Amino acid sequence: MKQAILAMPIFISTLFCGAATAQTVFIQIEAHPDLATAQERTQVFAEYLSDVKGFQIGSRWYGIALGPYDRQSAQSRLEALKELGMIPADSYLSERDDYARQFYPVGDIGLPTPAISQDESNAGPSTDSPGDSTPQLATKPTESRRQALQTEALMSPDQKLRLQRALRHFGFYQGSIDAVFGGGTRRAMAAWQESKGYEPTNVLTSNQREEIIAEHQADLAALGLRFFRNETAGIEIQLPGAMVVFDRFEPPFAYYRPIDDSGVTAVLISQSGDEITLQAMYEVLLRKFEFASPGSKRSSSRFTISGVSEHGRTFVYAALADDAVKGFALAWPERNDALHGTVLEAMRESFTPISGTVLADVLEGDVPEWPVDLIDGLELPEPKTSYSGFYIDETATVLTTDKAVDSCERITLDGIFGAELVGKDESTGLALLKPTEPLVPPDYARIRSGVPQPRSKVAVSGYSFGGKLSAPSLTYGRLVDLQGLNGEKTVKRLALAASPGDAGGPVLDATGSLIGLLLPEDSGSDKRLPSDVRFAVNPSTISGFLENSGHMIETSNRHSGVSAVAMAESAADITVLVNCWVD
């Protein structure tokens, strides 16, 4: 395959001598209005192409062409050279009649040799010629590093992307596919050259680029990559058709099983839902695959999981799209990471959710009974407890109630982001959390500087329904007293009908400034208080706890009240759902 691309056959024809053959053509690659420029550019191309010709075109233009060839060979050579970036993308086939006087090479008319007579054709091979009558293939001269850089400069961005993908496919390049030949790409070129026994110049010659791209294309052909449009799941994606075949639907999944011994399994993910469904999907897939040291990236709208599972190398992607969770999973044996890295890249780049179509919870008709070999059906996990909390700084540190983190094996914020306990004080009922991955909060709470007036209006922001709603709720009430029922100075008494999930949420005054943290109801008390009696940790206690934990909270500069809409928006930005999990 390499030789067929490297050297296209140049056939001797009889276009202008004897019997004419209309199939003889040239490849027109450039044209210039002045002879000097045309001569200079012709010499540039001649440094790495062996069949360059220069002709006058009409009375004012000078063209650079390759040939002559028969039409079929010319078309093949045109496509190969354009693919490799060795000639301009707008090059085309041209007839000999398009050209007038030849100016390059001097003394070579650039035309086929005279026709062979019928008698000569039957006379057999000459004693001065080889007996094989097969047309000889043209070969390119070896390029210097300078010449390789010149041919490289003619490559289009798409051709550079293709070369980087080939280098990554064979394991030599790990950087971004960006069409920029920086240090990483240069080192990859040198490593590939060394692996092939070439001099490591950090610049691939035309021949070398042809070689690696041809090998890459051969591998891609073996994978059988093609677009699959699964109308039932509502997903279009490239899959390795030579390695997987559709198997079955088990909502919310569509399974593609391995062909023969490929060991590759693909799964499409499709289910109606929202952020909570996305988080549930993450939890299920994480546990079902039983990843060894998985790596994951998550946000409120998408996630990826990658690592080694019992199925080999495994990658999962899912995201929200038009009120649905859609994605895919790919598992492959570790024995051939390079090939399947190429498959994974193709799947990621081609993945396209089809709007308005999602895999139904129950499909019509009979669904065959198949053993579940990758992922069981979706079972939504439930946290042990769900409380509220709020951001206190730009690093997404969260303050909440200590009840929110009691006996947890795992803690999450907003059902997605992992968190760890960094401070706790049972005497005040406070706990401090830090996200386990970098997180930028929409906003964070600022504490009121002065003492609020008793009987003033307050609001608690919290996840009243344990995260069943995608945003916190505001519960309005009144500040009744600046201390507890027994004169406790660390808390203040409120009159409001809060829900259990609101505990740990911020208590805000009319300006939206923080005046406390809502405590849970005291379930261990012998006294039964009225349902609207609640308590909040006061600002000085909060500040003291944070200071002892090595943190601080900013002071609010707000002095005027805000509208109900502005209050709700501000509260939603600072309030966090805190889930406690026991796996």
The pLDDT value given to residue 53: 92
Whats the size of the chain, residue-wise?
583
Q: Compute the radius of gyration of the chain from its Cα atoms.
A: 36
Instruction: Give the chain's domains with CATH numbers.
Output: 2-117 (no CATH), 145-223 (no CATH), 225-353 (3.40.1000.10), 382-583 (2.40.10.120)
Q: Are 102 and 54 in contact (CB under 8 A)?
A: yes
Structure tokens at 126: 């000459």
Q: Which residue has the tokens 């079972």?
A: 379
Cα separation, 404 vs 390, in Å, equals: 12
Instruction: Quick: pLDDT tens for 221-255.
Output: 777 878 888 989 999 998 988 888 999 998 889 99
Band (118; pLDDT cuts 50, 70, 90): very low
Lowest mean pLDDT among 174-178, 279-283, 286-290, 576-580: 286-290
Give the Å distances, CA to CA, from 250 to 245, 351, 435, 513: 15, 20, 35, 50
Predicted confidence (pLDDT) at residue 195 exceeds the cutoff of 90 = yes
Of all residues in the chain, what percent carry a pLDDT higher than 70? 82
Cβ atoms within 10 Å of 226's Cβ, excluding its own: 12
Indicate the average pLDDT of the chain.
80
Do 235 and 352 meet the contact criterion of CB atoms below 8 Å apart?
A: yes
Is the confidence at residue 551, as pLDDT, over 50?
Answer: yes
Q: Evaluate if residue 436 carries a pLDDT over 70.
A: yes
Tell me, what's the pLDDT at 279?
80
Rounded to an integer, the average pLDDT of 458-466 is 89
Max mean pLDDT range (16-20, 159-163, 201-205) = 201-205
Distance, CA of 538 to CA of 443 (rounded, Å):
21
Quote the percentage of the chain above a pLDDT of 90. 32
> What is the band of 335 on the pLDDT scale with cuts at 50, 70, 90?
low
Q: Over the range 420-459, which residues count as b (16 or more CB within 10 Å of their CB) and which as e?
A: eeebbbeebbbbbbbbeeebebeebbbbbeeebeeeeebb
Close Cβ partners of 167 (under 8 Å, ≥ 6 residues apart): 173, 185, 188, 189, 192, 212
Q: In the predicted model, what is the mean pLDDT of residues 554-558?
A: 88
- Region 198-215 average pLDDT: 90
The better pLDDT of the pair 107, 151 is held by 151
**pLDDT tens string 339-391:** 667 788 888 888 999 988 898 765 544 443 333 333 444 455 688 899 999 99
pLDDT band per the 50, 70, 90 thresholds, residue 138: very low
Residues 6+ apart with CB under 8 A from 121: none
Lowest mean pLDDT among 3-12, 103-112, 311-320, 330-339: 3-12
Is the N-terminal amide bond of 68 cis, ω within 30° of 0?
yes
Q: Which residue has the higher pLDDT, 408 or 124?
A: 408
Chain centroid, CA 503 distance in Å? 38
**pLDDT at 107 (0 to 100):** 54
Of 42, 180, 156, 37, the residue nearest 88 (C-alpha): 156
| pLDDT at residue 64 in the model | 94
Q: Where are the alpha helices (DSSP H) in 433-574?
A: 539-548, 564-574
C-alpha closest to that of 207 among 110, 142, 118: 142
pLDDT digits (tens, 9 = 90+) for 22-50: 468 999 999 888 888 888 888 888 877 77
Structure confidence at residue 337 (pLDDT) = 57
Say which residues have a Cβ less than 8 Å from residue 175's Cβ, sequence separation at least 6: 164, 182, 184, 185, 188
Buried b (16+ CB within 10 A) or exposed e, 512-550: bbbbbbbbbeeeeeeeeeeeeebbbbbbebbeebbeebe
**pLDDT for res 361:** 67
What per-residue confidence (pLDDT) applies to 523?
Answer: 60
- Which residues are CB-contacts of 182 (< 8 A; sequence separation ≥ 6)? 175
Quick one: average pLDDT of 312-338? 83
**8 Å CB contact between 225 and 239:** yes
**Distances 175 to 164, 201, 336, 344 between C-alpha atoms, Å:** 9, 19, 19, 16
DSSP 496: -
- How large is the average pLDDT for residues 305-323? 83
More confident residue, 419 or 177: 419
Q: Which of 150-159, 369-378, 423-432, 567-576 has the highest mean pLDDT?
A: 423-432
Residue range 43-54, pLDDT digits in tens:
888 877 778 999
Q: Say what the pLDDT of residue 380 is.
A: 54
Tens of pLDDT, residue by residue over 495-530, are 998 899 999 999 999 999 999 999 998 765 667 788
The whole-number pLDDT of residue 114 equals: 30
pLDDT for 96 equals 84
Tell me, what's the pLDDT at 429?
94
pLDDT band, residue 150 (cuts 50/70/90): confident
Within a 10 A sphere around the Cβ of 376, how many other Cβ atoms?
A: 11
What's residue 418's pLDDT? 87
